[in-house]
Structure 1
Amino acid sequence: MTILFGIMIHDIKDPARFNSYLSVIKEEGFDDLLVFTPHHVHLQKKQINGYMFMDGMWQQVVSPFPAISLDLGYYEEKSLFQKMKAVKYHPALPFVGYGLGNKWSIQQQLTSSAVLAPSLPPTQMLQHMDTVWSMLQKHTSVMIKPLNGKGGKGIFRLSQGENAYMLEQDEQILHLTQEELIHFLKERMKEQKYLVQKWIDIRDKHGSVYDIRALVQKNGEGKWQLSGLGVRRGPSRYKITSNLTNGGTAHPAFPFLKKQFGREKADFILHYMRKLALFIPQYLEKVTNRRLVELGLDIAVDRNGRVWILEVNIKPGRSLWRKIDNQEAIDRSIRAPVQYAWYLLKKKKVQQCSFSKG
């Protein structure tokens, strides 16, 4: 019997992007790889019209369900999102890990931990303008972030000046009256939901925003491991986010932090980050009762050396490790989910997928 490993993605423009998985899945016990989107899945027939690597090339095939699958997709279209949910609810199509909801639900879960709460910036849902005024009154400057955003897109920094409000996005700076600000935000609130979060000064000595991405993953023993730790630095002192998709640069964590704080303090900061990084996924699995496979944790350090948890991502990218040429982290990031998938099959734990709702 052929044991298939599946990868579900939102769109297959070029299946060759998954070539790095081909040798790994066979080394870890699987026979073949099937790449598919939710729209490719026929739940009643228990078949998938996907892609497999055969005779030296990727070819379209009709396949039975994989033994277990890894979900790497971003499902922004409503119809695709609904189909994805139906696929992941199906008991005959287990996945290695499941979702955690939006940024607000994750924030609430994290805040319920006495260990994590002190490291979380004050955050509220933007449901009406009173939220903005109260947060500005308390913190002077706030970040306004899309509830389901990714890649730093759609994030604003809002500050209160003497005669106007200053709104920053990337390198654009607007000075708005209260009436103009209300109009600006209400127009965007029609399109999507937002969070309001206290602005933390996480600029380096040159004035550029930076944060640290920690990649944590389950391994072949079913235990959490820290697979990579790297710095993302904004491209200029005028940018308000550090995302690599907006032109940021990548750096190994310790050398970068040593330049900011010195060796001793950098050692302490990294030690604390590693403890946080391994605590967070275990805590989230416990309080949500959902099986997770990997998380990308965005962790920041302010100018006083205090560590902050900015965000938890359930679909972490791999580009950071390529940019800092960390081949070990690249290899671990690909291999660990496959090893964990094999562990679940070997231990016959795939049935536990039924406890998840996302």
Structure 2
Amino acid sequence: MNEVYKIVTHRQSKNLVCIPEELTTSRDIEYIAFGQKKYPCQLVTMNTLHNIISISEHLVEMLCIPFEGSIEPIIIGNTLQLGPLVGIFTAGFTESLLRPIGDRSFMFANLIAENNHKNSFIFVFGTHGIDWESETIQGYFFTNKRWTKEVVPFPTVIYNRLPNRKVEVHKSIKRVRQKLEKEYKIPWFNPGFFNKWDLYVKLKNEKSVAHYLPKTVKFHNFDTIEELLSKYQFVYVKPENGSLGSRVILIRYHREEGIYYCRYRDFETNKLQKFSSLQSLINHVFRSTKLHDFIVQQGISLTRYEHQPVDFRVHTNKDALGKWHVTVIAAKVAGKGSTTTHLNNGGRVKTLEELFDQEKAKRIHDKLSTAALKISESLDRQVDGHIGEIGFDLGVDKDEKIWLFEANSKPGRSIFSNPSFQENDKQIKKLFLEYATHLSKKGNELEVSMK
């Protein structure tokens, strides 16, 4: 990462910019930029300045720099780029400045505050804050432990944190994204929510990762489930576009009894029911659900803790060079009677050391890390757009074989409720800014090369 500089203002010549000598020896800088705004400037280097960039009030106003703050400037061609100016794109805003993004305000405040010492210019925005005529955005900044609204230029890079699939496919949202990304050439990360079936199709043809995939088929009719039940002890029926364990059904056939057992969650209650036929099970449990949007997946007998199945949340993130790193591995223990290990279904978060002895914990950690990195690299090659982070749900069976259950392009934060993962949380927030800066540089360099 570059060295951090403080932006301050002065009242001298209206286009004057004063920078320390160590920042550059070049006298060819003709422009100063903040976000997507760029203006001519007169540059002066001064050996009396240290880690300070002094900008005229006139330029500060023209560039829409909202306040004095910290940045990591870069020089691209003949331009001094202040920033990056990072926009976090989301939806679900309220009228309150105390909680402008509702329940997610605390999550965004933490992300911004963790990086304020490196970059004070990270903001949250939605479609309602965009002024296309002036090419500015009224965004929400978190500074001095409070939220403020400030008008800034279009950002140099955008982090996609739309809350759900329904919002993401809304026409107005798609229109805004396309315009900022295509017309203004602003790089975005992350891509849209992953579709389980699409990911399975992409990964099953890659030799390096195909062995991590449970057998998965699209639901066509009852025979689809029967065929997998004849081969495996149990199966999961999942929506292609589900999240948080929503509508995940476990079906097991007991051959001696001739009975189908089904575990599922209904109105925040874990249920176990038995049926004499698969048809009666489907009719009761799925009722009006459109089953053509579901997949059927081989059940895996997972490692257990206190008699409950365990899977593992593994996060991978890109760094300042765009390289993948494993940033956290957490064990998730299923709640009693639950089909999944999600916390909202009664699950618990543990460290590997709480589940296994030291030697086994290290072995499992290494196997999960290898799998997560290989799958991250594979998805990176095949999915359109820039991916900066992935949250994986991985399983380990009795033979310590690794299985991929799910990949999330916008991983949740629930595992960080466990204090053991606070340092991992900080690292992920740091890498968010590193990758945003990396994309910003690439975008600027591409723009210069095209001129």
Which TM-score tier does this pair reach, normalised by the shorter chain?
Answer: 0.7 to 0.9
> Which residue of the partner structure matches residue 22 of structure 2?
none
**Larger RCO (CA within 8 A; separation ≥ 6):** 1
Would the aligned equivalents of 2:187 and 2:439 in 1 still touch at CA under 8 Å? Answer: no
Deviates more, 1:153-162 or 1:343-352: 343-352
1:78-116 Cα offsets, whole Å, 9 max, x none, are 686333333332322431332364111111112111121
Structure showing the higher helix proportion among its residues: 1
**For this pair of structures, how many residues does the alignment match?**
346
> Which residue of the partner structure matches residue 277 of structure 1?
372
Matched, 1:340 2:435: yes
Task: Pick from 220, 236, 247 the counterpart of residue 346 of structure 2.
Answer: 247
CA distance in 2, matches of 1:267, 1:247: 27
Q: Relative to 1, partners in 2 of residues 1:84 and 1:177: Cα closer, same or farther, differing over 3 Å?
A: farther
1:259-294 Cα offsets, whole Å, 9 max, x none, are xxxx44443322121111111111111123532100
Deviates more, 1:296-305 or 1:198-207: 198-207
Deviates more, 1:321-330 or 1:240-249: 321-330
Matched, 1:7 2:88: yes
Task: Pick from 204, 207, 210 the counterpart of residue 310 of structure 2.
Answer: 210
Task: Find the residue that maps to 2:392 and give its secondary structure.
Answer: strand
Shift of residue 150, structure 1, vs aligned partner:
1.1
Would the aligned equivalents of 1:34 and 1:50 in 2 still touch at CA under 8 Å? Answer: yes
- Unaligned stretches of 5+ in structure 1? 353-358
> Which residue of the partner structure matches residue 57 of structure 2?
none
Matched, 1:128 2:221: yes
Task: Find the residue that maps to 1:152 and give its secondary structure.
Answer: coil
Amino acid at match of 1:339: E
Q: Relative to 1, partners in 2 of residues 1:240 and 1:67: Cα closer, same or farther, differing over 3 Å?
A: same
Deviates more, 1:80-89 or 1:339-348: 80-89
Task: Find the residue that maps to 2:304 and give its secondary structure.
Answer: coil
Task: Find the residue that maps to 2:365 and give its secondary structure.
Answer: helix
Would the aligned equivalents of 1:157 and 1:168 in 2 still touch at CA under 8 Å? Answer: yes
Shift of residue 17, structure 1, vs aligned partner:
3.6
Structure showing the higher strand proportion among its residues: 2
Q: Relative to 1, partners in 2 of residues 1:349 and 1:183: Cα closer, same or farther, differing over 3 Å?
A: farther
Matched, 1:222 2:355: no
Would the aligned equivalents of 1:208 and 1:239 in 2 still touch at CA under 8 Å? Answer: no
Deviates more, 1:102-111 or 1:54-63: 54-63
Matched, 1:52 2:141: yes
1:28-61 Cα offsets, whole Å, 9 max, x none, are 3x44222123454456764434323367632344
> Which residue of the partner structure matches residue 306 of structure 1?
401
Q: Relative to 1, partners in 2 of residues 1:54 and 1:307: Cα closer, same or farther, differing over 3 Å?
A: closer
What is the RMSD of the two structures over their aligned residues, measured on CA atoms? 2.7
Q: How many percent identity over aligned positions? A: 25
> Which residue of the partner structure matches residue 37 of structure 2?
none
CA distance in 1, matches of 2:445, 2:284: 47
Q: Relative to 1, partners in 2 of residues 1:78 and 1:294: Cα closer, same or farther, differing over 3 Å?
A: closer
Deviates more, 1:245-254 or 1:334-343: 245-254
1:217-245 Cα offsets, whole Å, 9 max, x none, are 00122211111111111122x22211122
Alignment of 1:29-178 (within 5 A): 30-38=119-127, 40-41=129-130, 46-53=135-142, 57-77=146-166, 81-90=170-179, 91=181, 92=184, 93-99=186-192, 101-161=194-254, 162-170=257-265, 171-178=270-277
Q: Under a length normalisation based on structure 2, what TM-score does the superposition of the two structures give?
A: 0.70
Amino acid at match of 1:68: V
Q: Relative to 1, partners in 2 of residues 1:23 and 1:267: Cα closer, same or farther, differing over 3 Å?
A: closer
CA distance in 1, matches of 2:229, 2:394: 23
Shift of residue 351, structure 1, vs aligned partner:
6.1
Task: Find the residue that maps to 1:77 and give its secondary structure.
Answer: helix
CA distance in 1, matches of 2:431, 2:168: 31
Amino acid at match of 2:316: V
